[in-house]
Amino acid sequence: MKEPSIKKNFIYSTAYQILNVITPFISAPYISRVLGAEGIGIQSYTASIQQYFLLLASLGTLSYGAREISMNRNDEYKRSKIFWEIELMSIGTTLIALAGWIILCFLTPKYRVYYIVLTIGIFAAAFDISWFFNGIEEFKLTVIRNSIFKIFGIILMFLYIKTREDLLLYVFITAATSFLSNLSLWPYMRRYLVKVNIRELKFKKHFSETLVYFIPTIATSVYTVLDKTLLGLITNDAVQNGYYQQAEKIINLAKSVVFTAINSVVGVRNSYLFSEKKFAEIHEKIEASFNFIFFMGFACCFGIMGIAKTFVPLFFGAGYDQVVGLLYTFSSIIVIIGVSNCLGSQYYTPCGKRRESTNYLIFGSVVNLILNLLLIPNFGAEGAAVASVIAEAMVSVLYVHFSCGYGDFALLVKTGGKKLLVGFVMFVVIFAMNNLSLNSLVLISLQVVTGALIYVLGLILLRDDWRMDMAQNMERRIKRG
């Protein structure tokens, strides 16, 4: 099989992440005003409950499947055999999760109608084969597919979501587009699979291996899901979940720009490089990734903190003032998770150290759970945000400390120190600009332009590695041209 271009895959993946950034800027202001904080909170809470069953349905196959396909992509028969072994196992676990979900629907009267509609999302998990295409590094296909259905879903929202009574329809549109998106990849499978003898299929090995991936996925969900669940259970206030969801939405947008694209692409390639024992190349890719993650991460972190006071009321409308404080707390998590996600995707998973990674995540999950129970009763959504930041910081420290030199603290200082300093200077300037008596849209535009100039020029003056890398790339292109 022809070796895919990592540069092209990064471009495709980055393009999709840019779409992920643009689309919420189109839909979120409308949805937040139409559904209100309470409606957003109900959707957030019910989706958090659904996520536990989706985790059971996938059972770690998204990461494990991509890794196995990547390591066997040049053997057509073995690749096909592995696909059917993992996919049939995934269908089985989805049916188990679906049975549990149906029981939940009968036993839970509150929000039952929303749970029934979300059944579509559980069923869709059985048909999610994006892990296969990630494994063969065919990102173009998945990016185009995801983009089409994302845009389709947004169009439906604008056409049919008009009042707060349309919350159920909003939940249905979200679940249905996800289901159709998963189905759309199946017609392409004929290009990549050959017939296999069903008697040769083995499931035991994959089941035990996916459990190794499932445990850290569960642990990670404590940060992303359990906080919303506990907010709903402890405060019994959907509005708190609404605030938290909106703040997290902005942070997730930044995370997608900072590290999602680069880690998904480089992580798969590093699995292949580890199998080929090309360790020096892996070192280079991880260092380059840290350089990019810190460059984008500190810009987003300090940028969001600087404009939050003006941005939140303009973007979400009236009634979301608490989101400003949540963004101040949450912003640092962009860089913190960037570190752990980079090492997890590009070192721990490719080299087979998933168990060690699991232990760190479990530790962080326990810390997060304890802090949530202590802080949410008194501080609500703000307490959940503080708990997440502290827990994620502890996990990142463990990832770095035990990374065998692939991501030590000296490397973090080398690639991130100057960016941290310049980012803080940028924050001080654009935060002070919030006092200017200007139209909100004009002020934010001025803050963004000013912040970008300070950040880029500051790094150039300090001769940061990012500037040197850019200069070297331009020099190579000139020589080629």
Burial readout 445-470 (b: 16 or more C-beta within 10 A, e: otherwise): ebbeeebeebbbebbeeeebbbbeee
> Is 473 or 460 the better-scoring residue by pLDDT?
460
> Burial code of 321-353, b = ≥16 C-beta within 10 A, e = fewer?
ebbbbbbbbbbbbbbbbbbbbbbbbbbbbbbeb
54 lies in some domain: yes
Q: Categorize the per-residue pLDDT at 470 as very low, low, confident or very high, splitting at 50, 70 and 90.
A: very low
Q: How confident is the model at residue 170, as a pLDDT?
A: 93
Place of tokens 């983009």: 147
Distance CA 413, CA 407 (A): 10
Residue 55 pLDDT exceeds 90:
no
Which pLDDT value is given to residue 477? Answer: 40
> What mean pLDDT do residues 109-123 have?
92
Statement: residue 288 has pLDDT above 80: yes
CB atoms within 10 A of CB 424: 13
Residue 221, pLDDT score: 65
Confidence of residue 310 (pLDDT cuts 50, 70, 90): very high
Residue linked to tokens 């913190």: 336
Q: Is residue 252 part of a domain?
A: yes
Per-residue pLDDT of 173-202, as tens digits, reads 999 998 999 999 899 888 888 888 888 888
CA 432, 317, 111, 251 torsion: positive or negative? Answer: negative
> Model pTM?
0.73
- Asked if residue 457 is part of any domain, the answer here is yes
How many structural domains is the chain composed of? 1
Residue 1 has pLDDT above 60, yes or no: no
Q: How far apart are CA 18 and CA 305, in angstroms?
A: 21
Q: Is residue 411 part of a domain?
A: yes
pLDDT band at 427 (very low <50, low <70, confident <90, very high): very high
- pLDDT of 469 strictly over 60: no
Is 1 inside any structural domain?
A: no
Which of 45-49, 136-140, 454-458 bottoms out in mean pLDDT, i.e. has the lowest?
136-140
Q: Tell me, what's the pLDDT at 281?
A: 80
DSSP for 27-50, please give it: HHHHHHHHHHHHHHHHHHHHHHHH
Structure confidence at residue 475 (pLDDT): 40
- 278 φ/ψ angles, rounded to the nearest 5 degrees: -95, 70
Q: What mean pLDDT comes out for the span 347-374?
A: 84
Is the pLDDT confidence value at 17 over 70? no
So what's the pLDDT on residue 3? 61
Query: What is the rounded CA–CA span in Å between residue 95 and residue 88?
Result: 11
Q: What is the pLDDT of residue 115?
A: 94
* Residue 4 per-residue DSSP state: P
Residue 97: inside a domain: yes
pLDDT of residue 383: 93
Token look-up 């569960």 returns 218
Q: pLDDT tier at 48 (50, 70, 90 boundaries)?
A: confident
**Of 49-63, 365-379, 455-469, which has the strongest mean pLDDT?**
365-379
User: CA-to-CA distance for 371 and 326, rounded, in angstroms?
Assistant: 16
pLDDT confidence band for 145 (50 / 70 / 90): confident
448 assigned to some structural domain: yes
10 domain-assigned? yes
**Chain centre to alpha carbon of residue 259:** 9
Does the pLDDT at position 467 exceed 60? no
pLDDT computed for residue 264 by the predictor: 66
pLDDT tens by residue, 211-270: 777 776 776 666 677 888 888 888 877 788 888 888 988 888 888 777 666 766 676 677
Sequence-distant contacts of 15-21: CB under 8 A, at least 24 apart: 15/143, 16/143, 16/146, 16/147, 16/261, 17/256, 17/257, 17/260, 17/261, 18/257, 19/147, 19/150, 20/150, 20/253, 20/256, 21/253, 21/256, 21/257
Of 449, 44, 425, which is closest to residue 242 (Cα–Cα)?
A: 44
**Enclosing domain of residue 128:** 6-480
**% the chain with pLDDT above 90:** 31
Round the average pLDDT of the chain to a whole number and report it.
84
Q: Which two tokens stand for residue 421?
A: 């300093």
| Model confidence at 333: pLDDT above 60 | yes
Whether residue 204 has pLDDT greater than 80: no
Residue 473: pLDDT band (50, 70, 90) is very low
Q: Residue 134 — very low, low, confident or very high, per pLDDT cuts 50/70/90?
A: confident
Looking at residue 5, what DSSP letter applies?
P
Residue 419's pLDDT is 92
